[in-house]
Amino acid sequence: MTQLNVAALQLAFTDDIDENIANVSALVREAASEGAKVVLPPELFEGLYFCRTEDEALFANARPVETHPAVLAMRKLAAELRVHIPTSFFEADGPHHYNSLAMIDDRGEVMGVYRKSHIPDGPGYSEKFYFRPGNSGFKTWQTPGATLGVGICWDQWYPETARSLMLMGAEILLFPTAIGSEPYDEELDTSRMWRRAMIGHAASNVVPVVAANRTGDECGQTFYGHSFICNEWGDILAEFGATETGVLTATLDLDAARRHRAGFGFFRDRRPELYRRLVEDI
Amino acid sequence: MTQLNVAALQLAFTDDIDENIANVSALVREAASEGAKVVLPPELFEGLYFCRTEDEALFANARPVETHPAVLAMRKLAAELRVHIPTSFFEADGPHHYNSLAMIDDRGEVMGVYRKSHIPDGPGYSEKFYFRPGNSGFKTWQTPGATLGVGICWDQWYPETARSLMLMGAEILLFPTAIGSEPYDEELDTSRMWRRAMIGHAASNVVPVVAANRTGDECGQTFYGHSFICNEWGDILAEFGATETGVLTATLDLDAARRHRAGFGFFRDRRPELYRRLVEDI
């Protein structure tokens, strides 16, 4: 039986990058000590969620994957603990800036970089100011435990992300996130829709999902946590509420998931010739 | 404010087509008396769910849309009550047989026929024996109250169905269904995954969803009901459990749904050029 122990981290961040990396590192150690082989920190954990405002000075925090401090720290830790760490970071590449993820393997090597495909924009989430829409396309990563598929935050709302990753062989979908309150509508709590969209991906694709979100108040914006791990039915295996911090772990039975996925037959019965509109500019 | 009252019917069926049509008609009347303008009966309500076995004698029950007794009865009723009735029926067309739906408008006219795109096959659900995969493509229907998108049962698990209908202008997604216990796995209750997939469509597309399922025991197969109506957030507005029968109604605020859909920006931020795999034969 192919079982894999996975972990999601939930915590709050400050404007002190060293402190943030130290806090994430402590939780990665805790997850590894509990047997996790894949440990998912939240999106852009190097600092505060800076897309709250549009400030050109902040582009200076972007770095190439080779020199980004969060990536370098996670590479060292991954090699030491023998875990995979999908590491979200603010990437600079020549004149371009991306919301990116380095898949770091259990030897501390960067397997490759995925650049966030779907970029949000709205009050409190001015990502279109900072990030060029990703040009990497979706990526999956073959690891000893499972083929991993990763989307970054806004990607997680898109059925196209989940389905594309599945068609590329993903056996687990992972989503690092930074999402919270909506400044334009203080009544609106999107946390339940956020979970429903991803649990919908689990059910429609018969695949386990891992989501890691930040928590805490940052300059009036409250990040709502609710990180979770669910199985291929969408049943929650481990979850946090809005303010808890720490490590979620769960053991996924990937053989059972594969068997259930085949038995359901969703992929057998797809009709790609009828899906033309999905790839048209409409 | 554009509000629309919609209804879903949940009931059990027998092998008596006249009795089934009479029972559905009584519930359509009840729904109309409560103000519903669109009334959704379950899938293939003319009889027992015959795909339990593979029996060539049953093809004789298929009829063209012009003469199918369920369609004729609903046309008469729709004209009398001034309601739209998406009517599922077993369609014969020359040598072909389809699992189809006639969209009947509030004058009793057939606006067109949609043929189920995704055909399941498994113990208790031998639909591939009976139904040619639909060749109509997805369809939406402009009505005075809203543009309606309809998928039939197995279609409802596919994010591609929901997204395609949305890109064709759908403002409500409706799913007539016949789903219940799994003879190959008596422990397995798929009702929660069934809801999760559709509520996921609601959240990912910011659109209300209406699902109507049959209930009752048929030759050892137990149909699990759980019909529901949810809003564009995926919040349940009305629902049945496994054995209740009757009419669910809810009033949908389509202006609010349209505003929320625009505000979320999911459609603004799609990347069709990255979705190529969705339409490839992989």
Q: Is the pLDDT of residue B141 over 70?
A: yes
Nearest by Cα to B120 from B152, B165, B161: B152
The pLDDT mean for chain A works out to 97
Q: Which of chain B's residues have a Cβ under 8 Å away from the Cβ of A201?
A: 159, 200
A196 contacts B199? CB cut-off 8 A: yes
- pLDDT for the residue numbered B24: 98
Q: Is the pLDDT of residue B46 over 90?
A: yes
What letter does residue A153 receive in the DSSP assignment? G
Candidates B160, B196, B270; nearest CB to A199 = B196
B215-218 and B147-150 beta bridge pairing: unpaired
Predicted confidence band of residue B1 (pLDDT cuts 50, 70, 90): low
The answer to whether B153 and B176 have CB atoms below 8 angstroms apart is yes
Q: Name residue A247's beta-bridge partners.
A: A9
Contacts of B18 (CB under 8 A, 6+ apart): none
Give the residue from A156, A165, A193 with the most B CB atoms within 10 Å of its CB, the best one to mutate. A193
Give the torsion sign (CA, A184, A187, A192, A193): negative
- pLDDT for the residue numbered B271: 98
Task: Extract the tokens encoding A61.
Answer: 């925090």
Q: Which residues of B does the annotation mark as catalytic?
A: 43, 116, 153
Residues 154-183 of B with CB under 8 A from A: 154, 157-160, 162-164, 167-168
Predicted confidence band of residue A184 (pLDDT cuts 50, 70, 90): confident
What ipTM describes this predicted complex? 0.96
The nearest alpha carbon in chain A to B127 belongs to: A269
pLDDT digits (tens, 9 = 90+) for B200-221: 999 999 999 999 999 999 998 9
pLDDT digits (tens, 9 = 90+) for B146-192: 999 999 999 999 999 999 999 999 999 999 999 998 877 878 889 99
- pLDDT for the residue numbered A182: 84
The answer to whether A38 and A174 have CB atoms below 8 angstroms apart is yes
Q: Is the pLDDT of residue B128 over 90?
A: yes
- pLDDT for the residue numbered B63: 98
Strand locations in B126-224 (E): 140-142, 147-150, 172-177, 209-213, 215-218, 221-224
B281 contacts A159? CB cut-off 8 A: no
Candidates B157, B194, B273; nearest CB to A266 = B157
Buried/exposed B151-190: b ≥16 CB within 10 Å, e otherwise: bbbbbbbbbbbbbbbbbbebbbbbbbbbbbbbeeeeeebb
Candidates B164, B202, B265; nearest CB to A275 = B164
**What is the per-residue DSSP string for A22-75?**
HHHHHHHHHHHHTT-SEEEPPTTTTSS-GGGS--GGGGGG-B-TTT-HHHHHHH
Q: Is the pLDDT of residue A2 over 90?
A: no
Candidates B133, B197, B263; nearest CB to A271 = B133
- pLDDT for the residue numbered A270: 98
A266 contacts B200? CB cut-off 8 A: no
The nearest alpha carbon in chain A to B157 belongs to: A204
| Torsion (CA) B47, B50, B52, B53 in degrees, nearest 10 | 150
Task: Answer whether B266 touches A (CB < 8 Å).
Answer: yes
- pLDDT for the residue numbered B184: 78
CB pairs under 8 A between A and B: 162
B274 contacts A117? CB cut-off 8 A: yes
The answer to whether B179 and B224 have CB atoms below 8 angstroms apart is yes
Cα separation values, A178 from A42, A45, B47, Å: 7, 9, 50
pLDDT digits (tens, 9 = 90+) for A22-80: 999 999 999 999 999 999 999 999 999 999 999 999 999 999 999 999 999 999 999 99
Percentage of chain A exceeding pLDDT 70:
100
Mean pLDDT in residue range A223-250? 98
Q: Backbone phi, then psi, for A80, in 5-degree steps?
A: -65, -45
Q: Which of chain A's residues have a Cβ under 8 Å away from the Cβ of B168?
A: 277
Q: Which of chain A's residues have a Cβ under 8 Å away from the Cβ of B122?
A: 263, 265
Mean pLDDT in residue range A217-223? 94
Residues 235-254 of A with CB under 8 A from B: 235
The answer to whether B149 and B165 have CB atoms below 8 angstroms apart is yes
pLDDT digits (tens, 9 = 90+) for A135-181: 999 999 999 999 999 999 999 999 999 999 999 999 999 999 999 98
Mean pLDDT in residue range B33-41? 98
- pLDDT for the residue numbered B257: 98
- pLDDT for the residue numbered B279: 97
- pLDDT for the residue numbered B185: 80
What letter does residue B241 receive in the DSSP assignment? -
Candidates B122, B194, B278; nearest CB to A275 = B278
pLDDT digits (tens, 9 = 90+) for A186-213: 788 899 999 999 999 999 999 999 999 9
The nearest alpha carbon in chain B to A231 belongs to: B193
Annotation marks residue A219 as catalytic = no
* Terminal Cα distance for chain B, rounded: 44
Q: Which of chain B's residues have a Cβ under 8 Å away from the Cβ of A198?
A: 200
Q: Which of chain B's residues have a Cβ under 8 Å away from the Cβ of A135?
A: none
B276 contacts A158? CB cut-off 8 A: no
Predicted confidence band of residue A1 (pLDDT cuts 50, 70, 90): low
A269 contacts B167? CB cut-off 8 A: no
A278 contacts B164? CB cut-off 8 A: yes
Task: Answer whether B136 touches A (CB < 8 Å).
Answer: no
What letter does residue B37 receive in the DSSP assignment? S
Q: Helices then strands (H, E): number in chain A?
A: 6, 14
